[in-house]
Amino acid sequence: MKVFFSDLDNTMIYSYRHEIGKEKICVEHYQGREVSFITKRTQELLEQAREQMLFIPVTTRTQEQYDRIDLGIGIPEYALVCNGGVLLVEGREDRGWYETSLASIMDCQEELRKAQHLMESDENRSFEVRNIRSLFLFTKSREPEKSVEYLAQKLDTGRVEVFQNGIKVYVVPKKLDKGTAIRRFLEAYGKEKGKDIFVMAAGDSIFDIPMLQCADLGIAPKALEDSGMLPKEILVLRGGRVFSEAVLEQALEMGGSR
């Protein structure tokens, strides 16, 4: 049994700001605008992947944000949203999964409340502070490096991580990461199916590193390697190709050989 966990933004789909060639398909509309795209080749490869393996999107997006995306391959059987804190089964939330996620980070709630106050008072903040279902916090900053440094100095980094992704700033409990979510899923799914599972994962940001590390095959772009945070055992795809296409071709090649 082959399972392919994949991040979405900048791994499978790209914003209108990202150049991916002329043969692209809009997969997300927001407020009447076309905002996210995939290449035609990516959609073809995704269709092949769904025939050969279990394809599971794993994203920091909320369910509402995730639901805006239509990859053109039908609703995935499973998806992990909110950085793995929420499991969707054929598009519907598994309430038990969410409750277990909340219970696992109960000892971080006070730190998240403290973080929200600090983020709201940050002079560099350029967006509202959003508490994502009591799982993690998100905002934007005019100077995200300074915001991250400020928060890291004030918070208990033994309990929470402070991340920057572009201008976005996050405070996330250490127990809530994509790697933990994948291990939880595999434990439940593997027992249910009673099969040996070969796990592949792909992602482009520091949010994805725990997921890549717990896969049999983790795939990342050179940009993540350049950050200096990527473990050596992760497969890095180099070259000028669109990452989504290169990832799927690699996954299909490896999946077909198992």
Q: Are 37 and 158 members of one domain?
A: no
At residue 231, does pLDDT exceed 90?
no
Q: Are 33 and 98 members of one domain?
A: yes
Q: What is the CATH number of the domain that holds 214?
A: 3.40.50.1000
At residue 258, does pLDDT exceed 70?
no
Number of domains in the chain: 2
What's the rounded mean pLDDT across residues 3-15?
Answer: 96
Q: Are 18 and 96 members of one domain?
A: yes
The predicted-structure confidence for 177-218, as pLDDT tens digits, reads as follows 999 999 999 998 875 555 688 999 999 998 999 999 999 999
The percent of residues above 90 in pLDDT, for the chain, comes to 83
Q: Are 49 and 146 members of one domain?
A: no
Question: 9: pLDDT confidence band, cut at 50, 70 and 90?
Answer: very high
pLDDT at 186: 93
Nearest to 8 by CA among 202, 240, 138: 202
Torsion of CA 5, 62, 129, 108, to 10 degrees: -60
Q: Are 168 and 227 members of one domain?
A: no
Q: Are 116 and 233 members of one domain?
A: no
- Between 226 and 38, where is the model more confident? 38
pLDDT at 256: 60
Q: Are 35 and 85 members of one domain?
A: yes
> End of a domain among 128, 147, 173?
173
> End of a domain among 119, 139, 173?
173
Q: Are 217 and 232 members of one domain?
A: yes
pLDDT at 192: 59
Q: Which residues have CB under 8 Å from 95's CB, separation 6+?
A: none
Q: Are 97 and 215 members of one domain?
A: yes
Q: Are 47 and 161 members of one domain?
A: no
List the domain range (segments joined by +) for residue 189. Answer: 2-102+177-256
Q: Are 40 and 87 members of one domain?
A: yes
The predicted-structure confidence for 94-115, as pLDDT tens digits, reads as follows 999 999 999 999 999 999 999 9
pLDDT at 255: 64
pLDDT at 238: 86
At residue 240, does pLDDT exceed 90?
no
Q: How far is CA 47 from the centre of its chain?
A: 20
pLDDT at 89: 97
Q: Are 140 and 68 members of one domain?
A: no
At residue 257, does pLDDT exceed 60?
no
> End of a domain among 173, 195, 217?
173
Q: Say how far apart CA 159 and CA 179 lie, in whole Å.
A: 16
What is the value of pTM for the model shown? 0.94
- Average pLDDT value over all residues in the chain: 93
Q: What is the CATH number of the domain that holds 135?
A: 3.30.1360
What's the rounded mean pLDDT across residues 120-140?
Answer: 97
**Residue 57 corresponds to which amino acid?**
P
